[in-house]
Structure 1
């Protein structure tokens, strides 16, 4: 990649790029939840998650005991574990007020809560050791309407997307177990030029530049993201996110 190094890349490199392990990040909480009837007719969700004590098994499909309400769009091997930085909660409290939901981890449906990592210092494809499991960063989160209803804020999903405070997902190439207090240690960083913030901005800013889109296609994108980028490149049009962000009509 020629030209100046993007600020996000510099941040990613400083966090442990070029194969050098980063300082370990302590995990504050591992969280799971069960899928229950949700706010709109026919909907279900496991977004309400609570911290787990002791060791938790982490398998190919995520943390043992964790459930998703709609397996068409949540869960699966590429969205097995969701990590959301607790660092972001202060910014949300500044914007939304001291909501009880923001007092403790779990407001965003995350499975992992921590301090010290964010979308600017985590790169696509990063591999981390957690306990005796290995996690691989597979994609950033594309927020959906369930956040609107969870927070009682009509445009919460759009705010999450626009701010870039989305969190990210892992796949689990090596199952194992872990517990709160364990270290998350970077093992490998194959794509140091692509912190998640850079990739998410390409999507959220509705970029149509052929050069940037072609460069993104060189990455190990999940199938849905690859299809999205290929479609933009072929059609010079951006997708309609209204249904994902606003959701079905409320009954």
Structure 2
């Protein structure tokens, strides 16, 4: 299961209309190799480090084919809906949340990345697209993209092959995980099994375990 990195994006902080909060959602394509360290790509920044960035959200990957669905739902924003618009670092075609799994390890250039969690869409997507309800649409449709932690630092560049080298959880696609988190009353045993999945971000595993405890008591 391999694909190719079509585009690579990084971004500095910029104000987000209309209130002017600083955000790293605005990215620019680069055509050169970029160093990737434990917390992401050189030259890439996040505005609110409480919920964005960090070792468990070092690199964001978003399937380019999702933009057609967004443009169909929000036609007034279609002119800006292209790869890079939602703040992703890596853009590809052919892989979606249905085909990649929690814990997958990929070789990209000389770096080794591990899929740690889906992206949780937030209100900034609405403001970026000037489209009320865009973040909810992304969540309900499961077109979230996903995050990687960096297992081995290195450099990556547009055109690099992305090669799957390890899949510890073949039954736990990102889509399967996301659907379970959106269920009103998922089975506690299913939540515990996901919490134990190799490679899942520790805070997400803890949250799943706590929700399983709550469901069993209520």
TM-score normalised over the length of structure 1: 0.81
8 Å Cα contact 1:126/1:191 also seen in 2: yes
Report the more deviating stretch, 196-205 or 41-50. 41-50
Alignment correspondent of 1:228: 207
Q: Establish whether residue 129 from structure 1 lines up as the match of residue 90 from structure 2.
A: no
8 Å Cα contact 1:134/1:173 also seen in 2: yes
8 Å Cα contact 1:122/1:195 also seen in 2: yes
8 Å Cα contact 1:208/1:232 also seen in 2: no
- Give 1:48's match in structure 2, choosing from 4, 13, 26: 26
Report the more deviating stretch, 109-118 or 90-99. 90-99
When residues 42 and 235 of structure 1 are mapped into structure 2, their CA distance, relative to the original with a 3 A threshold, is farther
- Give 1:158's match in structure 2, choosing from 103, 119, 136: 136
Shift of 1:194: 0.5
Q: How does 1:1-251 map to 2 (within 5 A)?
A: 22=1, 24-39=2-17, 41=19, 43-97=21-75, 99-102=78-81, 104-220=82-198, 221-236=200-215
Shift of 1:156: 1.0
| Secondary structure of the corresponding residue to residue 99 of structure 1 | helix
8 Å Cα contact 2:102/2:116 also seen in 1: yes
- 1:171-195 CA distance string (max 9 Å, x none): 1110111111111010111110101
| C-alpha RMSD over aligned residues | 1.5
Unmatched 5+ stretches in structure 1: 1-21, 238-251
Report the more deviating stretch, 198-207 or 155-164. 198-207
Instruction: State the alpha-carbon separation in 1 of the partners of residues 6 and 164 from structure 2.
Output: 17
Instruction: State the alpha-carbon separation in 2 of the partners of residues 80 and 206 from structure 1.
Output: 30
8 Å Cα contact 2:102/2:173 also seen in 1: yes
8 Å Cα contact 1:49/1:110 also seen in 2: yes
| Secondary structure of the corresponding residue to residue 212 of structure 1 | helix
Unmatched 5+ stretches in structure 2: none
8 Å Cα contact 2:185/2:215 also seen in 1: no
Alignment correspondent of 1:10: none
- 1:71-124 CA distance string (max 9 Å, x none): 01000000000000001111112222262211x311110000011101010011
| Secondary structure of the corresponding residue to residue 119 of structure 1 | coil
Report the more deviating stretch, 135-144 or 41-50. 41-50
Instruction: State the alpha-carbon separation in 1 of the partners of residues 20 and 157 from structure 2.
Output: 34
